[in-house]
Amino acid sequence: MKNKGLTKVDLIFESIDIMKVMKKAFEMTSDEIIQQILESGLKGRGGAGFPTGLKWKYTAAEKDPEKYIVCNADEGEPGTFKDREILDKVASKVYAGMTIAGKAMGARKGFIYLRGEYRFLLPQLFVELHKFHKLINEIGYDFSIEYRMGSGAYICGEESALFESIEGFRGEPRNKPPYPTVSGLFSKPTSINNVETLVTAVMIIEKGANEYFKLGTKDSRGSKVFSISGDTPIPGIFELELGMTVQEFVNEFGDGDTKAVQVGGASGFCVPRKKFGETIIGFEGVPTGGSMKLFNSSRSMYNLLHNYLDFFAEESCGQCTPCRVGCQQLLKGVEKVKKGEAKSTYLNELVKLADTMKVASKCGLGQSVGNAFKSIVENFREEIIY
Amino acid sequence: MYQTGNMVKELAEKHGRKRESLMPILQEIVRKHNYLTDDVMVAVATELDISAAEVYGTASFYTFLDTQERGKNVIRVCKTITCSMKGKNDIVSTLEDILKIKVGETTPDKMFTLLETNCIGWCHKAPAILINDMPYTDLTPETVIDVVKGYMR
């Protein structure tokens, strides 16, 4: 597999002339904008990685005159904090991204769902938004954005749960299909995109799809903002070209004693030292919404697993049985094994339960609990037992 | 307990009486009074012409829409892995010492409630807490005392 190494990039936080890029987009047809995003190879930056251009194309294809563009700023995945930084530093690029997406698919209205934990940002974001609305009014373009706040529920980052929350209900995910592009917010065709995705789309319009396509690998085009924390001398937010191996990442960000890297947060994968060299950070290896947590040899992987399971047991919405009961049983199960109340082979039963949750859970939460669970149990089995 | 008076009516005028008005109304009440009383939830239900069970059912889903009595300042200590690795337990025990309450409790003068919460997005500056809306990061047992003292006045 082609290996690109570790390269720092400056696209997301680069300051640009917002008006210039929007004018460029306004001169393009809807199809031309969508074509640019498709050609760039951009996949959603929230973690799931659905091709952004397709999402816009499907929404554009719907006949309903009322459509929405929703910006998912419910950044709740443990270890992710890049969307907060993006909104803090370049909110106007987020607004521009929503406007361009709106133009591409015929939406006149946008909503930003901001997690309650980031409410302190709101006064400044309103100032920026007011300026932005003035700017697009001046050129006579009809588009507006509203904020909606979350109230401390991780599950509301799931797209259909987020819609339920904006509509005033419990944040319980819906059955799919229908997908949001057909029936999303208020049952209207909706494109819901992550904060970073929208800013990336702006930069693709600004630089051209060809330029963006040059970055990254076949399966993971472009660059990505990473949230880096844990046992590292330089925790923070870094934009890197996609396609590096975990080893290259650890060489740059590790403390010299890195035992494991959790890629993609609690719902992501734990990569042990022996697999650093062969594992690519991206859709061909371990996908990530940006959360990168480093753990050195002083850390207990049991504590890590227990912390994650405790998180999921609390944050499961409780709607479907595999997730609600599964999270609790995984948590109780590893506690029993650790205390010696269950045999170590009980872990194999728990792995089967995690597999069942993957196929039987209604949404991404329950489906991905097994990612961290299995990768930690399989790679650090002795730490879970003893 | 607090009196609802005209508050709910005024909030309904401001945010509307549709179902999607519910969250903004509840959020604003919590910002003002720190938690939702049974009375206020019934008042919201009446104003929006929905069942009180719908209001309670929605509120109780969201961690930040407390339906139990909370103090004037709600301290939420992040307990997710990075904060946990970087000294969250020391922060919690320091707070328990100076406030003389345990996690989950409210001080008798109703000034502080101490809670733990899931990842608040400051892992690179762990350990971190939220006091009401404000994050405080890179804390030590010493600095967290200073932070909380600022809210004691």
Instruction: Give the chain A residue whose CA is nearest to the CA of B65.
Output: A151
Based on the domain organization, do A318 and A252 belong to the same domain? no
Contacts of B133 in chain A (CB under 8 A): 119-120
Q: Residue A6: its pLDDT value, please?
A: 87
Distance of CA A168 to the CA centre of its chain: 23
A6 located within any domain? yes
Based on the domain organization, do A260 and A372 belong to the same domain? no
Q: How far apart are CA B145 and CA A24, in angstroms?
A: 52
Based on the domain organization, do A138 and A287 belong to the same domain? yes
Whether residue B57 lies within 8 A of chain A, CB to CB, comes out as yes
**C-alpha distance from B110 to closest chain A C-alpha (Å):** 22
A299, A320, A351 - which closes a domain:
A299
- Indicate whether this complex's ipTM tops 0.90: yes
Whether residue A165 lies within 8 A of chain B, CB to CB, comes out as yes
Does the distance separating the beta carbons of B119 and A76 come in below 8 Å? yes
Does the distance separating the beta carbons of A78 and B80 come in below 8 Å? yes
Token pair of A303, please?
Answer: 């504590």
Whether residue A258 lies within 8 A of chain B, CB to CB, comes out as no
Distance of CA A205 to the CA centre of its chain: 21
Q: For residue A4, what is the domain's CATH number?
A: 3.40.50.11540
Based on the domain organization, do A166 and A285 belong to the same domain? yes
Q: Residue B96: its pLDDT value, please?
A: 98
A291 located within any domain? yes
Contacts of B18 in chain A (CB under 8 A): 168
Based on the domain organization, do A143 and A232 belong to the same domain? yes
Contacts of B65 in chain A (CB under 8 A): 151-152
Based on the domain organization, do A183 and A251 belong to the same domain? yes
Q: Is the dihedral of CA A121, A124, A130, A133 positive or negative?
A: negative
A255 located within any domain? yes
A157 located within any domain? yes
Smallest CA-to-CA distance from A173 within A164, A163, A161, A183 is with A161
Q: Residue A3: its pLDDT value, please?
A: 54
Q: How far apart are CA A350 and CA A348, in angstroms?
A: 5
Whether residue B137 lies within 8 A of chain A, CB to CB, comes out as no
A299, A328, A352 - which closes a domain:
A299
Based on the domain organization, do A306 and A165 belong to the same domain? no
Based on the domain organization, do A225 and A344 belong to the same domain? no
A208 located within any domain? yes
Q: For chains A and B, count residue pairs whose Cβ atoms are closer than 8 Å.
A: 116
Instruction: Give the chain A residue whose CA is nearest to the CA of B30.
Output: A151
Contact residues, A window 316-375, toward B, CB-based 8 Å cutoff: 317
Does the distance separating the beta carbons of A315 and B23 come in below 8 Å? no
- Choose, out of A85, A86, A117, A327, the residue to mutate when testing the contact with B (most B CBs < 10 Å): A117
List of residues 6+ apart from A328 with CB closer than 8 A: A313
Based on the domain organization, do A314 and A295 belong to the same domain? no
Whether residue B83 lies within 8 A of chain A, CB to CB, comes out as no
Domain ranges across chain B: 7-59, 73-149
Whether residue A253 lies within 8 A of chain B, CB to CB, comes out as no
List of residues 6+ apart from A260 with CB closer than 8 A: A270, A271, A272, A273, A294, A295, A299, A301, A379, A380
Contacts of A152 in chain B (CB under 8 A): 62-65, 117
Q: For residue A369, what is the domain's CATH number?
A: 1.20.1440.230
Q: What is the DSSP letter of B70?
A: -
Contacts of B66 in chain A (CB under 8 A): none
3-state SS, one letter per residue, for chain A: CCCCCCCECCCCCCCCCHHHHHHHHHHCCHHHHHHHHHHHCCECCCCCCCEHHHHHHHHHHCCCCCCEEEEEECCCCCCCCHHHHHHHHHHHHHHHHHHHHHHHHCCCEEEEEECHHHHHHHHHHHHHHHHHHHHHHHCCCCCEEEEEECCCCHHHHCHHHHHHHHCCCCCCCCCCCCCCCCCCHHHCCEEEEEHHHHHHHHHHHHHCHHHHHCCECCCCECEEEEEEEECCCCCEEEEEECCCEHHHHHHHHCCCCEEEEEECHHHCEEEEHHHCCCCEECCCCECCCCEEEEEECCCCHHHHHHHHHHHHHHHCCCCCHHHHHHHHHHHHHHHHHHHCCCCCCHHHHHHHHHHHHHHHCCCHHHHHHHHHHHHHHHHCHHHHHC
Q: Which residues of chain B have pLDDT under 50?
A: none
Q: Which domain holds residue A244?
A: 1-299
Based on the domain organization, do A289 and A352 belong to the same domain? no
Neighbours of B84 (CB within 10 A): 20
Token pair of A32, please?
Answer: 């031309």
Does the distance separating the beta carbons of B120 and A230 come in below 8 Å? no
- Choose, out of B61, B65, B130, B138, the residue to mutate when testing the contact with A (most A CBs < 10 Å): B61
Q: Under a CB-based contact definition with an 8 Å cutoff, are residues A160 and A127 in contact?
A: no
Whether residue A5 lies within 8 A of chain B, CB to CB, comes out as no
Contact residues, A window 6-65, toward B, CB-based 8 Å cutoff: none
Q: How many domains are contained in chain A?
A: 2
Does the distance separating the beta carbons of A84 and B121 come in below 8 Å? yes
Smallest CA-to-CA distance from A225 within A5, A10, A55, A3 is with A10
Smallest CA-to-CA distance from A153 within A169, A137, A141 is with A169
Q: What is the mean pLDDT of each run of 10 residues along chain A (386 residues)?
A: 73 95 96 97 93 98 97 97 98 98 97 98 98 94 97 97 98 97 98 98 96 91 96 97 96 97 96 97 91 97 97 97 98 97 97 98 96 96 95
Does the distance separating the beta carbons of B58 and A168 come in below 8 Å? yes
A271, A299, A327 - which closes a domain:
A299
Whether residue A249 lies within 8 A of chain B, CB to CB, comes out as no
A386 located within any domain? no
- The position carrying tokens 């997710």 is B80
Q: Residue A1: its pLDDT value, please?
A: 44
Q: Does domain B73-149 have CATH number 1.10.10.10?
A: no
